[in-house]
Structures are given as C-alpha cells and as structure tokens.
Chain A
C-alpha cells in the first residue's frame, strides 16, 4: 500500500498561540452572547438568556481556573475551584439542552480538564507559566547540568554494561550496586533542584505581588524566568535518567 508521507508535526498547539494565530483569534474573541447577541458581562453565562458561553481561546489556564499567575497555589483551593467549574461545565448537566450548548459544554469541560491537569502539578505549572511569559512552545529542551556531564556519560556506559551482563553473576551484582548508588545520588540532586525551583517560585510570586514596573523589577523577572527554564530543563533530564535507571535495575 502506498501511503502519503508521515505527518510532520509542527508544534503542540495546545499552548499559548503564536503571533499569527493570536490575530485570528482576537477577531473571533467573543464579547457578544452567541445566542442572543447581547453583550456578555457574566463570567460563564449570558446574563440575559442564561446560555453557557464558550471559554475564549485567549483564556489562559490561570484565568480559566480563576487564579492569578502565581507558582505557589493551594492544591485544596485549586481542587475546589475545579470541582465547582466541573459542576458548571460538565456535559452531564447539558443533556437536556440544545446541541449548541452541548458542544460548548463539551469543549469548555475539555479546556477545564487540561487547565486543572496543568496547574495541579507544580512542574507543569511552572513550564506553562514560562511558556505564557516568554511565548515559547511547550517543550523545553532537556539538557544535563554542566557539572554532571561527565558523570552522566559514565553512567550511560555502566547502564549498557549492566544490560549486557549476566544479572546473576558477580559483575552483575557489582554493577547493580553501582547503579543503585548512582540512582540515589541523582534522586538527591533532583530533590535539591526542586527546592531551588520552589525558591524561584516564591521569588516570582513576591515579584508579582509587588507589581513594580521598575527596570530592576524587569531584570529580576528575566533572571527568575531564565533560571527557572534552566532548572526545569535540567530537572527533566535528571528525571528521565532516574526513571530509566529505576526501570532497568528493578
């Protein structure tokens, strides 16, 4: 069977839109009720005809869940808001409504679920905020921390050696112990990076709360975002290695 070439994936468009998309979306951005054409002032429903309104494509996940762009969020409050909005949008409650309303409920619920999934996890939340603030695509390139470069190369060799070895042999046992020690060391490093990240999160939130528009505030913002990007990239790298290690020596 002759098949057309494989699809070429441009990017993950689930993320904040690029410039050209944004222009198009702005044209589509709603201010009028899709049903009665009156101006929508309510948050999720038209105040005049009480029809549910689509969550605009422009709405970021923080706004969607009614939280400010902060990196420390109370998981209980986030969950409560998610449950509340689920009761507002879930298709179960639109079964007796028109097809248009059902379609809006379905797509709103899907956006809400993605928003909650993203913000619930501190790492994904930070990655998403980075994408929002710097307009980059979702995938942050993963890279090893410079000081661990040599160590990781060596570790890859040991892993290969272990995979090829007889697990029951003395050599197998020895390699297993080495890898276990490595895994523990890397996990400690990961925990360390996470606490560094949490400090950066706090820095970010403090800066946002202050809301100063000075040039030093701008420099501080850029510093935080840059360091956060680097740390996130290193953490993901270490995390992948740890998972790989755990799977191999399990």
Chain B
C-alpha cells in the first residue's frame, strides 16, 4: 500500500509526519524547520504559503489569511464578534464563510487545502515519492460540519483522507508508543485556537477514549487578543493614535503580543516595542509575567470547566487519572501548567514536544491503517450528542456524546396524514434541549410512498463512522428497498461545489508546480553559487588557473540562467558548475584534512 502520511492541520502551524522503522518522524523543510505556519498570502506572483506568507502579515494584511481553522464549517454569524480582529474580508455564500483575496473569494476548506498542498509537496520532496493519502487531525470537539470541511480540504488538495483523527487521541498514540503506559491518562490539548480534553484508558495496546470535552473557540489566540487590546488602549491613551485603523500595524501588534507571550514562558519580564503609524516613533513598555498572567487567567480558567466535564463523563474523579499529558503550544505557559496540576493533583507530563506530538500520532494512525502497526488500536468517541428535531422544536437524542465510534442508531418513521409523500428530517448536534440551542447539521427529505397515514415504514440509519462523520441511509421496511438520501449540509460545501473546487485546484496545480520548481531551482542555485564562491576564495590558489577560469565561466552562466524562468536550464547549469568545481572541492577537502592532521586549525595556517 502506498505511503500514508499524518498531518496536523493546526490553527497557527501545521506539520506532516511519516513512519520510519516503527518510529514516527516529522518531515522537515530544507532548513530543518518542522512547522509550516498556517498562513496563506496573495502576492503579485500568486499565492504563497507558510514562512514566506507569514512575512506578508504585516506587509500585506488584507491579503494574508491566518487562523483559517477558526472558520472551518462555520457561517458568518458564528464569528460575528471577532470579525474586527481579522484584517481580511469575510463574506458568506450558502452558509459557508468566504475569504476575499484580491479578485477571488475562497472557502475555508480551499485555504486549508493550500496549506495541505504545501505539506504534501514538502513530504514528496523529502520522501522522494508521490503522496496521495493522509490522516488529518482535528480538534476532538469539532462537530460534524467542521470535520466534513476538513475532509473537503483534503480532497481539494488532492489527498485521499483515509481518516480524520482527534488531536488529543493522536497525541496519546505517540505518547503511548513512547512510554508504553497502561492506565488512565488525561490529554490536555491547548493550541492556538482550540481546547480539547480527552480521558483515555490504555490497556494492552487498546487506547479507549472514555470521554472528551472542549471548546473549538478557545486558544492562545485569545490570550494574544487580550494583550493586543491592552496595547491598543495604552497607545490610544499615550499617543492619541487608534492602531485599529491601521491593519498593517494591527498585525505587527498582534505578532509582538504573541512573541512577548512566548518569551514570558521562560522569562519573568520582557520589553515590548511597537512601531507607530504616521512616523510617530515607537511605543515601548515592559511586560512582566505577572501582568500577562493576570490577563490570561480568565482564558485559562475557561479551559478547566471542560476538564471537569470530561472527568465526570468518564465516571472518574481527578485522583483516578494516572498521568496528565500536555499538548499544544499554549501549554508552555507556566500558569497553564500550574492550573492543570492543581486540577488533577499531579504534575503534568511534558517531555514530549507539544508542537509535534499530534502530527507524530497521526503518522502512527496512518501506519495502523496501512497495516504496519497491528498491536495498537484507538477506540474514539463522538464528542457531541446527535439527534433529530421532533415536535415542538425539541431535539430527540439518537446517539449520546462520548459514545464509542463507529456508532449507529435506527429510527422508524411513518406518516400521519393520508397520502403524505415526504417527511422532513432535521439533524442536529449538541447537548441542549431545544433545537435552536443546538447546531444544525443538515436537513433531508425522506421520500414516502403515498399511502394511508401510519402505513409507510421507513427505517433511517444514522451511522457515525470512525472519522466521527455522519452517514445517513434509509430503507423502506415494506419493500426492503434502500433509498438514497440527499443530505443538504447546513454549514458546508455541497458535493458539487467540492468537485468544482477540486477541478479548479487541478487546473491551477500545473501552474503552481511550475512556479514552485522555478522557485526551488533558484534557491538551490543561489546556495551553490555562494558555496562555490567561498571555495574559490579559500582554495582557489591550490588549483591551476584554467580550472578557476572554467569555474568562473560556469558560475556566470548559472547566474544568468537563474534570472531566467526555466527551472530545467537552471538545474543543467548547476550540474555543469558542480562538475567544474568537483576537483577544487576535493583538493580543498584534502588540504583541510592534511592541516587537521598537523593539529592546526584552518584559520591558523591560512
């Protein structure tokens, strides 16, 4: 079976991992960096993703999208009160948020697909093979629409998403693999935009989730915002400038707030410096860890209620938890660790890299699916109750929260008016009594043969698969025939829309790949030129003149090719240069070895 990679599609950063000799490993980029910032920017040269896109946050804020995960599976009304924080323009079509980038609008799955594609390319370049299958992680508390949106993103990126897996449980797989623990563990996963808590029982390779809880709208971002609000208020007070009128400066303030928060995890105080608009100089202040913590405490307190809920739902008390595992960058904050320790009554385990453990776990799950790992099995649960609307606007629960998945429930429907030909079914997710307080997932119309009231018998099966995604099928019990159901998602892309996006993405893929090859060839050419220049300077005197001349000619030819647009020409000139400089490099190596044997440093002899 072709290789399946594991992907952590994060709010702030994303990673891709693979299995090597029974151990999960993160795919690094050419500079050894493991994380791809989840940022997409529209530049004059097209769309860019990751580190280079992150630079555009302050340069080009209206055309740089970050934290897109917050919008997955959502409508505009869901994010109304945070719109002011985002410099890019959000609209809505068909219940799905659209993000404006230049002349075009993109759905959150499309933006996420760009990040996924970047990860796919990175893995392909590193592993030297084509990658078409992936396991992608989502917050455990993601609802059906958010999971479906993530799956759509994978499809648009040209990936077959073999499994959507919950982040805290992915982390537990990586943790379990390393520690070979038995017992009850709690995973506290506090990331950039989401919070999850899962309680698991680990026994003989089975990872059974007992309960999960969380908040898909609570993360380190919220702490950053409190800092931003503080700085803006102070700048307004001191300088009379409203930073929120300047999107580029807003982004600079946000990034400075994030960096300061990170520094304060190791230091007790730090200096803040923010360039002011209109050449008004800089705003500077000192920020102490105490000040940060007194701001952040409200956010951190909000993470504890879901912990208590999860423990209760698991039928346990904090003292039954053997080990607490921390996941997500926000768990680096000392106050978070203190509060978690106080709640569970034991110091949390934080030896795993909280940024990488989720992607590593996704790779483990990918290995299970491809048949590599057979001794581990994850039994996860659905985080939210699933039900349908019944008379009086009340939700009737069919599958309760924390039910092990796959889970199914059957309901028999009939008519109560003679000749009625359809029954409308409204599917909901949530824990509240009334329909209006729960999340609408989808609606569909059940076709019923026109018969006297009460005679038709249609059995509808609601099945939550191992991805936590709902599938609905119906059977006419009188004829035994199954009928297809067209489910219209309340907050999702329709199948035809996803298909069109996949087509679009293929159409542009050829162009994208061309552009990417050129960029990569140029970067490689640059580093080769630099290295060769250095060799010439250091060891040019050790070879004959003809040789250095040949090298210099090859160098100049490469630099001409580099300014062109043909990646193949660049690669060809690079090969020529490498050939021309081969002898020089050997001589240089021998020389330094010789000097090394005499116990002297290169710098001392030259």
Of residues 110 to 162 in A, which have CB atoms within 8 Å of B's CB atoms? 110-111, 113-114, 116-117
B-chain residues with CB within 8 Å of residue A93 when the two chains form the complex: 368, 371, 374, 377
A143 to nearest B CB, angstroms?
21
**Complex contact B377–A90 (CB within 8 A):** yes
B514 to nearest A CB, angstroms?
34
Total B residues in contact with A, Cβ cutoff 8 Å: 50
Of residues 562 to 596 in B, which have CB atoms within 8 Å of A's CB atoms? none
Residue of chain A at shortest CB distance from B416: A8
**Complex contact B413–A10 (CB within 8 A):** yes
**Complex contact A11–B404 (CB within 8 A):** no
Q: Is A14's beta carbon under 8 Å from chain B?
A: yes
**Complex contact B420–A4 (CB within 8 A):** yes
Pick the residue among A92, A107, A114 that contacts B369 (CB under 8 A).
A92
Q: Is A67's beta carbon under 8 Å from chain B?
A: no
User: Which of B174-182, B285-293, B317-325, B459-467 lies at the interface with chain A?
Assistant: B459-467
Of residues 368 to 426 in B, which have CB atoms within 8 Å of A's CB atoms? 368-371, 374, 377-379, 388-391, 396, 403-417, 420, 422-425
B-chain residues with CB within 8 Å of residue A107 when the two chains form the complex: 406, 408, 463
Most buried by B among A83, A95, A96: A95
B-chain residues with CB within 8 Å of residue A3 when the two chains form the complex: 424
Roughly how many angstroms separate A29 CA and B388 CA in the complex, as a whole number?
Answer: 30
Roughly how many angstroms separate A106 CA and B208 CA in the complex, as a whole number?
Answer: 17
**Complex contact B412–A13 (CB within 8 A):** yes
**Complex contact B407–A110 (CB within 8 A):** yes
B-chain residues with CB within 8 Å of residue A86 when the two chains form the complex: 206, 377, 379
Of residues 1 to 56 in A, which have CB atoms within 8 Å of B's CB atoms? 3-14, 21, 24
Roughly how many angstroms separate A95 CA and B410 CA in the complex, as a whole number?
Answer: 25
A-chain residues with CB within 8 Å of residue B281 when the two chains form the complex: none
Roughly how many angstroms separate A111 CA and B408 CA in the complex, as a whole number?
Answer: 7
Total A residues in contact with B, Cβ cutoff 8 Å: 32
B588 to nearest A CB, angstroms?
51
Roughly how many angstroms separate A3 CA and B426 CA in the complex, as a whole number?
Answer: 11
**Complex contact A14–B410 (CB within 8 A):** yes
B-chain residues with CB within 8 Å of residue A4 when the two chains form the complex: 420, 422-424, 445
B-chain residues with CB within 8 Å of residue A95 when the two chains form the complex: 162, 369-371
**Complex contact A110–B368 (CB within 8 A):** no
B294 to nearest A CB, angstroms?
29
A-chain residues with CB within 8 Å of residue B416 when the two chains form the complex: 5, 8
**Complex contact A9–B411 (CB within 8 A):** yes
A-chain residues with CB within 8 Å of residue B240 when the two chains form the complex: none
Q: Is B84's beta carbon under 8 Å from chain A?
A: no
B-chain residues with CB within 8 Å of residue A111 when the two chains form the complex: 408
Q: Is B599's beta carbon under 8 Å from chain A?
A: no
**Complex contact B424–A96 (CB within 8 A):** no
B-chain residues with CB within 8 Å of residue A6 when the two chains form the complex: 389-391, 424
Known: A86-B377, A92-B378. A8 touches B408 (CB 8 A): no
Most buried by A among B204, B396, B414, B466: B466
Roughly how many angstroms separate A13 CA and B422 CA in the complex, as a whole number?
Answer: 20
Roughly how many angstroms separate A5 CA and B413 CA in the complex, as a whole number?
Answer: 12
Q: Is A238's beta carbon under 8 Å from chain B?
A: no
Roughly how many angstroms separate A110 CA and B465 CA in the complex, as a whole number?
Answer: 8
Roughly how many angstroms separate A7 CA and B424 CA in the complex, as a whole number?
Answer: 7
A-chain residues with CB within 8 Å of residue B423 when the two chains form the complex: 4-5, 7
Q: Is B203's beta carbon under 8 Å from chain A?
A: yes
Roughly how many angstroms separate A13 CA and B404 CA in the complex, as a whole number?
Answer: 19
Roughly how many angstroms separate A11 CA and B396 CA in the complex, as a whole number?
Answer: 12
B-chain residues with CB within 8 Å of residue A106 when the two chains form the complex: 406, 463, 465-466
Contact with A along B1-31 (1 / 0, CB 8 A): 1000000000000000000000000000000
Roughly how many angstroms separate A95 CA and B445 CA in the complex, as a whole number?
Answer: 32
Of residues 63 to 91 in A, which have CB atoms within 8 Å of B's CB atoms? 83, 86-87, 90-91
Known: A4-B420, A9-B396, A96-B371. A110 touches B406 (CB 8 A): yes
Q: Is A224's beta carbon under 8 Å from chain B?
A: no
**Complex contact B204–A5 (CB within 8 A):** no
A-chain residues with CB within 8 Å of residue B368 when the two chains form the complex: 92-93
Q: Is A109's beta carbon under 8 Å from chain B?
A: yes
**Complex contact A113–B378 (CB within 8 A):** no
Q: Is B346's beta carbon under 8 Å from chain A?
A: no
Roughly how many angstroms separate A91 CA and B445 CA in the complex, as a whole number?
Answer: 29
Q: Is B457's beta carbon under 8 Å from chain A?
A: yes
Q: Can you report 7 A-B residue pairs in the complex whose CB atoms are below 8 A from each other? A: A3-B424, A4-B424, A9-B390, A24-B477, A91-B466, A107-B406, A113-B404
5 smallest CB-CB distances across A and B, nearest first, come from: A110-B408, A110-B406, A95-B369, A10-B412, A113-B404
Interface residues, chain A, with chain B CB atoms under 8 Å away: 3-14, 21, 24, 83, 86-87, 90-93, 95-96, 106-107, 109-111, 113-114, 116-117
